[in-house]
Amino acid sequence: RRTLLKSLAAAPAVVALGRPGIARAAEFDLKYGNNLPVTHPLNVRAQEAVERIAKETNGRVQIQIFPNNQLGGDTDMLSQVRSGGITFFTPSALVIATLVPAAAINAVGFAFADYDQVWGAMDGKVGAQVRAEIAKVNLYAFEKMWDNGFRQMTTSGKPIQTAADMAGLKIRVPVSPLSISMFKGLGAAPASLQFSEVYSALQTKVVDAQENPLPIIQVAKLYEVQKACALSNHIWDGFWFIANGRAWKGLPEDLQKIVAGAINDAGMKQRDDIRKLNATLQADLEAKGLAFNRTSPDSFRAKLREAGFYAEWKGRFGDEAWGLLEGAVGKLA
């Protein structure tokens, strides 16, 4: 006992930056990185989860959040969570699909009609299959996916009314094979860029358009560099809350339970936040100068069918996964 106390006293004090008042390293000092501004509900709810975890574990588990691409872009954070450099990361399904192709299934264009279909699929069989695939690359995916939202298209010029308006459009998409394939199928000229580069790419006119859910357009201030927004709802996108597999297994079971409970609960609240924001954001963004128009999915779906998009991705995902998706949303191709 005495020796232990002595060696503790002799150990150099570890000062955790950004967490004043906590002078000594916790038993489990974990890092969580993400790509979104602190004002996004993902960060607000993650912060609450982190506080609850510290409290319920009596300080044994301390998680430090690095928001807003502080640790690099999505592809950097994906390598870091694989190597264990960080313990947690929340990639969009589109982004983790570069490593786990099955994870792009929810992003098939114009698949989901509404949130009932979304959560029916992602809390059900479609999500379970993706989680199993994520586990195969030694990452642990928490049960409840967090919401990014239905993706909408913004442009600096002409608004997008039908698929014909997309011909040759220089549009930024996430680093994701499915996004590239889909926007090429629609006749656009998509460019993959990490989220950290989007604002300046629009500002400097490297691209003329981008696509993201309204909450992202708001918190990342994309309305400052875009003029019009087509409510296309072309992809439903969510974030997988993932952990490094080894680090996760290294947590004693009682701590795993607390961490998973806090993160899944926070995820459910975050879904609610996004749902509420969706009801109010159009007016906010209009007041900031973004002009909105509605679109029908018909011309877009027809163009994608004609381009062979659905047939191609049915082949890539395989009949089983495709069947699960169609079981949740109806026939696609």
Contacts to ligand X2X by CB under 6 A: 35, 92, 94-95, 148, 174, 195, 212, 216, 237
Beta carbon of residue 61, minimum distance to ligand X2X (angstroms, whole number): 26
Q: Which residue is it, tokens 């872009």?
A: 73
Closest to 181 in 3D by CA, of 104, 117, 249:
104
What Rg value do the Cα atoms of the chain yield, rounded? 21
**For 13, which DSSP code?**
P
Residue (216 or 243) nearer to ligand X2X, CB: 216
For the chain, what is the total number of helices (H) and then of strands (E)? 14, 11
SS3 category, 62: strand
Beta carbon of residue 240, minimum distance to ligand X2X (angstroms, whole number): 11
Residue (98 or 148) nearer to ligand X2X, CB: 148
- Residue 92: beta bridge partners? 239
Q: Please say whether the dihedral angle defined by the alpha carbons of residues 77, 82, 86 and 89, taken in this order, is positive or negative.
A: positive
Distance between CA 107 and CA 218 in Å, rounded?
A: 21
Residue (57 or 212) nearer to ligand X2X, CB: 212
Distance between CA 103 and CA 93 in Å, rounded?
A: 6
Beta carbon of residue 320, minimum distance to ligand X2X (angstroms, whole number): 26
Residue (62 or 98) nearer to ligand X2X, CB: 98
Structure tokens belonging to residue 329: 């949303």
Check: CB of residue 127 under 8 Å from CB of residue 146. Answer: no
Residue (165 or 237) nearer to ligand X2X, CB: 237
Beta carbon of residue 1, minimum distance to ligand X2X (angstroms, whole number): 49
DSSP 239-278: E--EEEHHHHHTS-HHHHHHHHHHHHHHHHHHHHHHHHHH
Beta carbon of residue 216, minimum distance to ligand X2X (angstroms, whole number): 5
Beta carbon of residue 137, minimum distance to ligand X2X (angstroms, whole number): 19
Residue (50 or 95) nearer to ligand X2X, CB: 95
